[in-house]
Amino acid sequence: MKGRLRGALNKPIAMALLLMGSALLFATACGATPQTILEPTTRSARDSLDLLKFVFWSAVGVFVVVEGALIYVLIRYRRRSGDGLPRQTHGHTRLEIAWTIVPTILVVVIAVLTVPRIFALAQGPEADTLRVRAIGHQWWFEFVYPDLGVVTANELHLPVNQSVEIQLESEDVLHSFWVPKLRGKLDMVPGRVNKFVITPESTGTFLGQCAEFCGIAHALMKFTVVVESESDFAAWVDNERAPRAPPASEQAKAGEALLASKGCVACHTIRGTEAAGVIGPELTHVGSRNHIAAGILPNTHEGLAKWLSGPQDVKPGNFMVIPELSEDEVESLVTYLVGLK
């Protein structure tokens, strides 16, 4: 008898724990999670979150009712000594029609709320929309502002309260452009062009990450979006358009000289020098960025030195080919690159 009771209770206890657990999970969502989808800063991201909340709480409602019914039935109808053969019911047409209609109504409601938001997410640009091309590469992001004449990498700058159309392309395999606080993801598909329009509403730096498996360094393909005031953005654009800042010290000059001898020029562009390669990220103003190596290392003296001393250790599988550098050479290159503000 006792054993049976315990058997009957195992499920309910597990279920209750599960229910409390899921409530806890959602409650603790707002920790230090910089890439969370719960802090939208555009209408698109807010639409997605509102819908998520509605469907989630509907699902919680269904969960409580259905699992509750299951647990109740399991406890109420557990076998007791002296049980005869239970009544042999085979079905109940009206009941079955009812529990077909109720979930139908629920999914119709969800569908009705979903469809307008699908079309809202697909809205096209307006007359004054800023255009940006985002191009996925194994394993970094290239950003081109065709109307402003700016090319940069891994750090997208956008003016606040200005509608932007981002045009997604890929140079090699599938990637996906995802900045949870700005919008749900959209894939970068080679041979196709995807577009979306957003209007960032608050300034700040937002994390993004490739969300479609793209090979060995998929985990290390990140980027940031800097949303700034109109004047800050204009200043940034002016700076980006200018050629590289000339080397300010002897060591930096030595660094610039290494560009050619170490082969950097074959892949990278630094306007104002002979470096005009188009395979790797554009570096004319690399010193002004927050991160290097697609959001993996801080753009500090140490970060750059670590990268140049062994790019394959930082990001296994990446395509940067660099001869082994002496410590002096690393120092010179780092000093030079840090100066490229």
Partner 1 sequence: MATVTTTAPDTRTFSGAAWSWITTVDHKRIAVLYLVTALGFFVMGGVEALLIRAQLARPDADVVAPDRYTELFTMHGTTMVFLALMPMSAAFFNLLLPLMIGARDVAFPRLNALSYWIYLFGGIFINISFVAGGAPNAGWFGYAPLTATKFAATHAIDFWALGLQILGVSSILASINFIVTIVNLRAPGMTLNRMPMFVWMSMITAFLIIFAFPAITIGLVLLLFDRYMSTSFFLPAGGGDPVLWQHLFWVFGHPEVYILILPAMGIVSEILPTFSRKPLFGYAVVAYSGAAIALVGFGVWTHHMFTVGLGPIADTAFAISTMAIAVPTGVKIFNWIATLYGGSISFKTPMLFAIGMVAMFIIGGLSGVILGSPPVDGQVQDTYFVVAHLHYVLFGGTVFGLFAGIYYWFPKFTGRLLHEGWGKVHFLLMLIGFNLTFLPQHMLGIDGMPRRIHTYSSDMGFELWNMVSTVGSFMIAVSVAVFAINAIRSARSGAISGSDPWDAGTLEWTIPSPPPVYNFAEIPVVDGQYPAWDAKRGGGNTGAVATVPETLEGEDEPHIHMPNPSYWPIVMAAGMVLAASGLIFHQIFILLGAMMFGISLIGWIEEPAE
Q: Which of residues 2-21 bind partner 1 (CB under 8 A)?
A: 4, 7-8, 10-11, 14-15, 18, 21
Tell me whether residue 229 or residue 312 sits nearer to partner 1 (CB atom): 312
**Binding test (CB under 8 A) with partner 1, winner from 1, 2, 32, 274:** 32
Q: Exposed (0-12), middle (13-18) or buried (19+): which is 292, by Cβ within 10 Å?
A: buried
Q: Which amino acid is at 315?
A: K
Per CB under 8 A, 33 contacts partner 1: yes
Tell me whether residue 29 or residue 321 sits nearer to partner 1 (CB atom): 29
Tell me whether residue 14 or residue 321 sits nearer to partner 1 (CB atom): 14
Tell me whether residue 172 or residue 331 sits nearer to partner 1 (CB atom): 172
Minimum distance from CB of 279 to partner 1 (Å)? Answer: 15
Report the alpha-carbon distance of residue 9 to residue 3 in Å, rounded: 10
- Count the residues of the shown chain that bind partner 1, applying the rule CB under 8 A: 103
Per CB under 8 A, 110 contacts partner 1: yes
Tokens standing for residue 240: 């980006």
- Cα 245 to chain center, whole Å? 32
Place of tokens 């103003």: 285
Q: Exposed (0-12), middle (13-18) or buried (19+): which is 10, by Cβ within 10 Å?
A: exposed
Which one-letter DSSP state was computed for residue 85? P
Restricting to residues 49-108, which ones interact with partner 1 according to CB under 8 A? 49, 51-52, 55-56, 58-59, 62-63, 66-67, 69-70, 73-74, 77-80, 83-92, 95-96, 99-100, 103-104, 107-108
Tell me whether residue 227 or residue 270 sits nearer to partner 1 (CB atom): 227
Of 147, 143, 105, give the one whose Cα is nearest residue 129.
147
Per CB under 8 A, 317 contacts partner 1: yes
Minimum distance from CB of 62 to partner 1 (Å)? Answer: 6
Binding range to partner 1, per CB under 8 A, among 147-155, 184-192, 233-241, 301-309:
184-192
End-to-end CA distance of the chain: 78
Tell me whether residue 171 or residue 232 sits nearer to partner 1 (CB atom): 171
Tell me whether residue 173 or residue 305 sits nearer to partner 1 (CB atom): 173
**Binding test (CB under 8 A) with partner 1, winner from 126, 213, 260, 279:** 213
Question: What are all long-range contacts of 99-105, with beta carbons under 8 Å and residues at least 24 apart?
Answer: 103/62
Place of tokens 């500090």: 300
Q: Exposed (0-12), middle (13-18) or buried (19+): which is 98, by Cβ within 10 Å?
A: exposed
User: 231 and 188 in contact (C-beta within 8 Å)?
Assistant: no
Binding range to partner 1, per CB under 8 A, among 158-166, 188-196, 254-262, 326-334:
188-196
User: 52 and 39 in contact (C-beta within 8 Å)?
Assistant: no
